[in-house]
Amino acid sequence: MPFINEILEYESLSIVGLEKNVGKTECLNYILNRLPLHERKVAVTSIGIDGENKDQVTATKKPEIFMREGMYFSTAETFYKERRLVSELVDISNERSSLGRIVTARVTIPGKVIISGPSSGTSLQRWIGSMQQLGINLTIIDGAISRLSSASPAISKAMILSTGAAFSSNIDTLVRKTRFVVEMMALPLLEDTSIDLLRDKDNGVWGIDIHDAIKDFKLSSALAINTTDVDITQEMKIIYTAGALTDRLLNAIADSKNIRQVTLVVKDFTKIFISEGAYRIFCSRGGKIRVLQKSKLIAVCVNPTAPNGYVLDSDILCRKLEEALQLPIYDIVKNKYDI
């Protein structure tokens, strides 16, 4: 099973969905059910709330999370008390949420649990570090709707993407939108000796000029680009935004006569919040985007059924996605006994 075997090559994995009800939890369960626990000590958490049997928004039935003996999980105290499995308490963290402290336990008798763990990138990094101290060599993070931050390379080294009819009920639109997200995930790394000058910049917009000197543009973020009348691309070879990249900065560079001489750089794909239309114009004029770090997208999972009951043709959807993405595509529900 190459899908599972490739996961074993990494020490951390994020599973992220492009919308609610695109099969993310089914994908998680598939992975948890097939991981060779004699080879890996596995810990699971979620940046949202996962494992409820009913969606609190759509009131539709949801798959619950099943944990095998020997697995570790981290969840809020409230949900730990409601677990339907037997576990050995391992740690009670100082990390807190509205549902209480984050509790880590080891499963001794298999069963079901609702998982809701650390909610920020920084706290997820701390969680991974604490799991490694327990001897865990594979951490799995279940991402939350519209929050791809859990898939940041600063947090997880590999990821699985879930998409489906809940994201778009039109196959061609679904393929196009998913392809754009995957394109952002696959942006090349910056290959420049100036990269070390940018790594510690956590906010603002910066430049590296043609003499390899760093410049602070005194902009609080890329959103402040319209507060200056100065063309920030002049004599620059790199423009770096430490925060979010939006259409505003992208369009400003696209309109510059120096666009072909400048490389636009972001920390990683989770910082990109641009429209496909603006990106295509930017690229058509010679623009380039690079990242400081990236993680490996292992596969894409699909759910052809939307909460409203609309069903796409799974075979056509998987084939078109595979052609567009050049990646393994899995309909977990349809093929759960075959892959």
User: Distance between CA 180 and CA 115 in Å, rounded?
Assistant: 30
Question: Which range is least confidently modeled, 67-71, 106-110, 158-162, 222-226?
Answer: 222-226
User: Distance between CA 204 and CA 225 in Å, rounded?
Assistant: 10
Q: What is the SS3 assignment for 255-313?
A: CCCCHHHCEEEECCHHHEECCHHHHHHHHHCCCEEEECCCCEEEEEEEECECCCCCECC
Tell me, what CATH number does 287's domain have? 3.40.140
Which pLDDT value is given to residue 121? 83
Domain of residue 275, residue span:
193-291
Sign of the C-alpha dihedral, residues 154, 160, 166, 168? positive
Q: Do the strands 205-209 and 214-216 form a parallel or antiparallel pair, or are they unpaired?
A: antiparallel
Q: Quick one: 109 and 254 in the same domain?
A: no
Q: Quick one: 285 and 301 in the same domain?
A: no
Q: How far is CA 195 from the centre of its chain?
A: 23
The pTM assigned to this predicted structure is 0.89
Q: Quick one: 93 and 12 in the same domain?
A: yes
The more confident residue out of 65 and 195 is 65
Per-residue confidence at 51, pLDDT binned at 50, 70, 90?
confident
Mean pLDDT of the chain: 89
Q: Quick one: 223 and 260 in the same domain?
A: yes
Tell me, what CATH number does 84's domain have? 3.40.50
Residue 330 has pLDDT above 80, yes or no: yes
Residue-wise DSSP of 133-190: HTT--EEEEE-BTTBGGGG-TTT-SEEEEEEETTT-SSHHHHHHHHHHHHHHHTPPBP
Q: Quick one: 113 and 85 in the same domain?
A: yes
CA distances from 35 to 145, 177, 294, 311 (A): 25, 30, 24, 30
Terminal Cα-to-Cα distance of the chain (whole angstroms): 6
Sign of the C-alpha dihedral, residues 251, 227, 184, 211? positive
Q: Quick one: 113 and 22 in the same domain?
A: yes
Per-residue confidence at 56, pLDDT binned at 50, 70, 90?
low
Which pLDDT value is given to residue 307? 86
Which pLDDT value is given to residue 154? 80
Q: Quick one: 287 and 301 in the same domain?
A: no
User: Distance between CA 113 and CA 173 in Å, rounded?
Assistant: 35
Strand partners for 104: 74, 91
Residue 297 has pLDDT above 60, yes or no: yes
Q: Quick one: 44 and 86 in the same domain?
A: yes
Within 8 A by CB and 6+ apart from 128, the residues are 12, 139, 155
Give the three-state DSSP class for 86: strand
Which pLDDT value is given to residue 12? 95
Per-residue pLDDT reduced to its tens digit, 3-42: 889 999 999 999 999 888 888 899 999 999 999 999 899 9
Q: Quick one: 67 and 166 in the same domain?
A: yes
Which pLDDT value is given to residue 337? 47
Over range 90-109, report the average pLDDT: 89
Token pair, residue 175, equals 């393929």
Residue 57 has pLDDT above 60, yes or no: no
Quote the strand ranges of 57-99, DSSP E. Answer: 65-67, 72-76, 84-97
In terms of C-beta density within 10 A (0-12 exposed, 13-18 middle, 19 or more buried), how is residue 192 classed?
middle
Per-residue confidence at 332, pLDDT binned at 50, 70, 90?
confident
Question: Do 260 and 237 touch, CB atoms closer than 8 A?
Answer: no
Q: Quick one: 147 and 50 in the same domain?
A: yes
Per-residue pLDDT reduced to its tens digit, 215-248: 998 887 777 776 456 688 899 999 999 999 999 9
Q: Quick one: 237 and 176 in the same domain?
A: no
Q: How many domains does the chain have?
A: 2
Which pLDDT value is given to residue 54? 64
Per-residue confidence at 157, pLDDT binned at 50, 70, 90?
very high
Over range 303-325, report the average pLDDT: 92
The percent of residues in the chain predicted with pLDDT above 70, rounded, is 93
Q: Quick one: 301 and 287 in the same domain?
A: no
User: Distance between CA 160 and CA 138 in Å, rounded?
Assistant: 14
User: Distance between CA 247 and CA 245 in Å, rounded?
Assistant: 7
Token pair, residue 196, equals 């070390």
